[in-house]
Structure 1
Amino acid sequence: MKVINCIIVDDEPQARKLMETFVSQLGGWKILRVCGNAIEAFEALQSLPVDVIFLDIKMPTITGIDFLKSLKNPPLVIFTTAYNKYAMEGYELNVVDYLLKPISIHRLLQAAEKVSERLKEKTETIAPASETSYMFIKHDNKLVKVNFADILYIEGMQNFVRIHTGAKPYLITHTMKAMEELLPQSMFFRVHKSYIVNLDAITAIFGNTIEIGKSEIGIGSNYKADFMEKIGG
């Protein structure tokens, strides 16, 4: 079983200590670093193989939400906070779970199980993207072969993604991050937190919008510079 590497990010010393104690009781988990703010967390992500961030929301200078939004390809995130008003925004950012303080070991175990399920998603494809021109996805209780060339774009929907093809859409339980790793980088590019596009399928680009057939897809501000460099624009 692969060890799940995590970091803990919280500006409150007592909260960090409690989370350390709880996470250390999870079998197969390893705490790589404990951070007191978003800057320390960013430095950790640059040098460590992080699978999961336990991220406090209400922190000085840079909030957990702003920090997560600043990451182009974030690891899995579990929000930890004393405020439930951020729950909707958390789920819009595709976080794994939202733990309200004071956190119980029972809720942490539930969150850990969700992490395990997310990480298992990567095994749903039979062949790696780098070696084939297709992938198999689980859809309607069967494995369906989808050619990469047939994919127009991929739309993130919380814990699901919708794969839009010329023939029909497929809704599967993958994350956008997992899809990025599965698709050939020479053909696909993430242009928004909720969209990955097939570069060959683009029919036009105007302003901050990509046109693929009759569909219009917005280009996220954090992705535009890299996208324009990719297409040579």
Structure 2
Amino acid sequence: MANEPIISLRGVTKTYGSGATAFQALKGVDLDVAEGDFVAVMGPSGSGKSTAMNILGCLDVPTSGSFRFKGLPVESLDRDQRALLRRRYLGFVFQGFNLLARTDALENVELPLLYRGEDKATRRSKAMATLERVGLRDWWDHTPAELSGGQQQRVAIARALVTNPDVLLADEPTGNLDSATSAEIMALMTELHREGITILMVTHEADIAAYAQTVVHFLDGLVERVDANGVSA
């Protein structure tokens, strides 16, 4: 595990609007994420956790402060450079799966490779290998409507993994699943973490956060506390 954190936030603020209608979603967040960590992000609605995740995913930029990814000052990048960083280093998993309804599992997983301009044979090979990695090789030709919720989330995880990202960002990955299926998805996430992927996961559920090595609690636009293995750090 590297000594330098893969992600580092220092004094990060985010303000929406201006003047009397301005809302400060983040009020000076400091956070380090070590390479290979499994981090759960928790907090009530309006605590700033979603804003922080959008910044970490290079989908938004801080109003002030520093965000370094592998030592690179992300706040200094332009929109195209941030998009390149997303495509090369980050994978995203969403609560609602976000799969293309009329497209089979294999083609859904291929999508990030299509955006990267890889040829069809390479896309197919990588996508099939990634579906096998999440236990869905035999379901490659099924559309989302022909898959269970857990299978759809596995396809979504495969789509996030197919580019071999350094960091997996998961937003409520079990939010639409029953408890048994949630446990299956979290077992898969745990296995991915063991393989060396850094995972940041937003969740409202303490039993899901318990799978993580580190739990970051947001409150009122700040990091309230960080728990490591259940012990306040």
Over alpha carbons, which structure has the higher Rg? 1
Asked whether the two chains share a fold, i.e. TM above 0.5, the reply is: no
Give the alignment's TM-score, normalised by structure 1: 0.32
